[in-house]
Chains A and B, each alone.
Chain A
Amino acid sequence: MMYLLVAAIVITVGTTYALWMMEQGNYTNVWAVGRGAILVVGVASCVVLGLLHLRREMLHDRAREDELSKLKTDFVSHVSHELRTPLSSIKAYAELLVDGEATDDKTRSEFYHIIQSEADRLSRLIDNILNISCIESGMTRVTRKPVALNTILKQVLEVAKPSAREKNVSLVDQVEPVFFSVEADRDMIYQAALNLVSNAIKYTPSGGTVRISLGAQDESKELVVQVSDTGVGIPPDAMKHLFEKFFRVEQHKSMAKGSGLGLNLTRQIIEGIHKGRMIVKSEYGKGSTFGFALPIAA
């Protein structure tokens, strides 16, 4: 926009100068009037263009501010909704227990378990929200060290085993012994890998398989972790929203509990902090592969 302003000034000055030159050549008064008129038009257009430019910049800033503030409000309203939901269950079931409305042992035991699992859900949610907020505000302390991904993945497999067994999903270990390491924050990579594996287990029906693999790729420039499942897959129209905060695939909401923060956090860890890249492939109804590639330490 600035160049238009400059152009207008140049044209005005140029024309005025040209007319002045002509006047020197002893022309009539007409030229003096013309010169004055052009000068006025030139100055006026400079002022108008300048004002338009200013106004546009202000509108642009306003729109950006509005957008940011809407994002913040949406986030707060989402967080508040997501926190209130498990807390509602905890509060309501506890009150029923206190009031003696659960009349037999079976019901009471069921209530205790609901309270416990909803409290777990609440604390996972708080962890995720805090982790994301810390990463976004640059407050996360990242400890980069050479990390062997084999070891981390073996630990993830170990931790995920019970939930897979409970759902009758077989966990297949295809982690090859690679000798390269990556320069990374151990705990964060563990969190990212665990998120992908537990998602795969969550969205794979009983009898299915989840495979975890590790290998070097791209002429040994990066290490690739992949988690493939024979699960429900992702509908094509949901693919572009997968990493949005609080996004959950409508069709699969009833399959498993979740806040819709896990993948966002995983991507922030992999792409934002470790300069790696996320891998997503999915065939709706057949299964998905989620993974990440990290540059091998020199």
Chain B
Amino acid sequence: MSTSKTILAVDDESHILHVVSLKLRNAGFNVITANDAEDAFDLAMTSGCSFGVGGCGACGGATIDLVITDFQMPGISGLELARKLHAEPGKSDLPVMLLTAHGLALEQVDLRRAGINVCLSKPFSPRDLLAKVDELLARHKRPPPSPKCAMICSEEVAP
């Protein structure tokens, strides 16, 4: 099992996803990507079950340690994604960073309510992004695997 942390990056602009994942991978992170918030939510929900359970096909991959999401995407927004994720058991303190071209138009209150830890405005500097990621991860401990997922896994291995 790799000790590097896993980051989920979400953006409907493929160029942005590409550049974010390249920067973070170069810095030694695992990066998984999603083009919209629905996909991202599914990815986040099916990850984090690889703890000692062999052959758990439905939920492979490492626990997500941090989410970096765009705000305005087709379907649900980045804020909504953060709210949905934090409402899930075991994910209430999953750090979420918003990367948005709407920086000035967003209310601080809304960000706080949705549990957004850091908001970075586009155009952004990948260096700043990496610095913020490091800072945020240092502040947060790795969350325990979600009980819901663990339950699915144990059900699957039960005789």
Contacts and interface: CB of A to CB of B under 8 A. Distances in A.
Interface stretch (B54-62, B78-86, B121-129): B121-129
B34 to A, nearest CB: 14
Given A80-B101, A253-B74, A88 B123 contact: yes
B137 interface: no
B26 A88 contact: no
Nearest to B19: A92
B15 A118 contact: yes
A81 B72 contact: yes
Interface stretch (A93-101, A209-217, A227-235): A93-101
Main secondary structure of the interface of A (DSSP, over half): helix
Interface string B7-48: 000001101100110110010000000010000000000000
Contacts of A92: 16, 19-20, 23, 123-126
Interface size class, chain B = 20 to 34
B102 A77 contact: yes
A241 B84 CA distance: 30
A141 B88 CA distance: 58
Contacts of A99: 126-127
B129 to A, nearest CB: 8
Interface in B95-139: 101-102, 104-105, 121-127
B37 to A, nearest CB: 14
B125 A77 contact: no
Given A77-B102, A81-B101, A96-B22, A88 B16 contact: yes
A275 to B, nearest CB: 37
B101 A84 contact: yes
A240 interface: no
B125 A91 contact: yes
A96 B125 CA distance: 9
A89 B13 contact: yes
Contacts of A116: none
A89 B16 contact: yes
A114 interface: yes
Contacts of B74: 250, 253
Max chain A Cβ within 10 angstroms of own Cβ: one of B19, B121, B125: B19
B98 to A, nearest CB: 14
B19 A93 contact: yes
B54 to A, nearest CB: 36
B135 to A, nearest CB: 19
A88 B122 contact: yes
Given A88-B16, A91-B124, A92-B125, 17 more contacts: A80-B101, A80-B102, A81-B101, A84-B121, A84-B123, A85-B122, A88-B124, A89-B13, A89-B16, A89-B19, A90-B123, A92-B19, A95-B125, A95-B127, A99-B127, A102-B22, A118-B15
Interface of A: 77, 80-81, 84-85, 87-93, 95-96, 99, 101-102, 114, 118, 250, 253-254
Interface of B: 12-13, 15-16, 19-20, 22-23, 26, 35, 72, 74, 101-102, 104-105, 121-127
In order of increasing CB-CB distance, the 4 nearest A-B pairs are A84-B101, A88-B122, A88-B123, A91-B123
